[in-house]
Amino acid sequence: MYQLEQPIYFYMLFALPAIIAMYLLVALWKKRAQRSFANSTLLDALSPSQSIFKGALKLVLALLVMACLSFALVNPKIGTKLETVKREGVDVVFALDVSTSMLAEDIAPNRLEKSKQLVRQIINTLAGDRIGIIGYAGSAFPQVPITTDFSSARLFLSGMNTNMVSSQGTAMTQAIEMAETYYNDIEQKNRVLFLISDGEDHQGDYANIAAQATKKGIKIYTIGVGTPGGAKIPIKRGGVVQSYKRDQNNQEVITKLNKETLQEIAEAANGKYLDGTNTKELVEQVQNILAGMDKKEFDAKQFSDFKDQFQWFLAGALLFLLLDVLLLERKTKWINNLNLFNQQKTDL
């Protein structure tokens, strides 16, 4: 198991292609300038010890120095010990709507990205809880099984999009039924399901399904993402809006937040409707909800004793830097004396 302490420094690697491009442009400019001064034979005679190969080699060494420094600043850490620890928490499942209506941009950047941001911020505040993630549109699908591995959950959450389900709609009933299978601990009494959606195009007898979930000890809290005024659903290509989604009558579709549906589901499952517009307020509400629940103790395996690995990359950077300093751009004598191609020396 590994951790990256400061992954933002990986952005330094984007400078490497720019450095290579600048080197090639300067080399091309020098070559043209030299040709305007003298022909190639005369230039070879004027600078017999100039090595093109070593110039390129010094560039490679400089790039390796920068790459090693980037990794050293990121500071990868490796877990050296796996131990079992006691944790107390609640089983929390997030059901995220990935239907096309979630692409509406009445909430920046759009409803889906806002929903993912909400879930991510909630996960960041959790400690001993176990979490799971479900995606749904026309049908529901498991995205992350119940786990204590928050890093993996955040990784899979970031990859969720509207292309994951071919059939459109909002199958909240299927999402609730699938969530029931996530709670695999019989002794866990507090089970929470956060249903995140704009509430549009709902299918099935959601109120009855929610009531059945309550009998199994599941509390459902719905989070509404969207605005009552609604917005059009953009169709983008390469990040640029090409058109907007239209219905069967060729009219532009306006998708609106269906708050009433979400409130009915929450009330049927002894939960509460939460407004997802303000991230900070929502996270505080979720914290208060979970804090008021009894925690169950359970075992969890996790890596400990993470050790820094930056020193290896720093040592590599120093080594390549030393080689770069010691390596001159002049030709090496013994290689030059080999004269592999029987070149005739020109005397001025």
The residues, any chain, with a CB within 8 Å of residue 163's CB and separated by 6 or more, are none
Q: Which helix (H) or strand (E) holds 291?
A: helix 279-291
| Triad 120, 122, 128: Cα angle to 5° | 110
| Domains located in the chain, CATH noted | 2-75+309-338 (no CATH), 87-295 (3.40.50.410)
Q: Yes or no: say if 185 and 148 are a contact pair by the CB < 8 Å rule.
A: no
Q: Yes or no: say if 137 and 165 are a contact pair by the CB < 8 Å rule.
A: yes
Cα of 179 vs its chain's centroid, Å? 24
The pLDDT of residue 52 is: 65
Q: Yes or no: say if 88 and 129 are a contact pair by the CB < 8 Å rule.
A: no
The pLDDT of residue 348 is: 45
The pLDDT of residue 32 is: 79
Q: Between the CA of residue 270 and those of 54, 131, 210, 218, 280, what are the distances in Å?
A: 73, 20, 9, 9, 24
Spans in the chain with pLDDT lower than 70: 1, 34, 37-53, 79-87, 169-170, 186-188, 201-204, 296-305, 328-348
| Residue-by-residue DSSP string for 122-182 | HHHH-SS-EEEEEEESSSEEEEEEEES-HHHHHHHHHT--TTS-SS-SB-HHHHHHHHHHH
The pLDDT of residue 114 is: 96
Cis peptide bond N-terminal to 109, omega within 30: yes
For helices 206-215 and 259-268, angle between their N-to-C axes, nearest 10 degrees: 30
- Answer left, alpha or beta for residue 93, where phi above 0 means left and psi between -120 and 50 means alpha: beta
The pLDDT of residue 305 is: 65
Q: Which helix (H) or strand (E) holds 301?
A: strand 296-308
For the whole model, what pTM was predicted?
Answer: 0.62
The pLDDT of residue 6 is: 85
**Dihedral of the alpha carbons of 205, 209, 210, 211, in degrees to the nearest 10:** 110
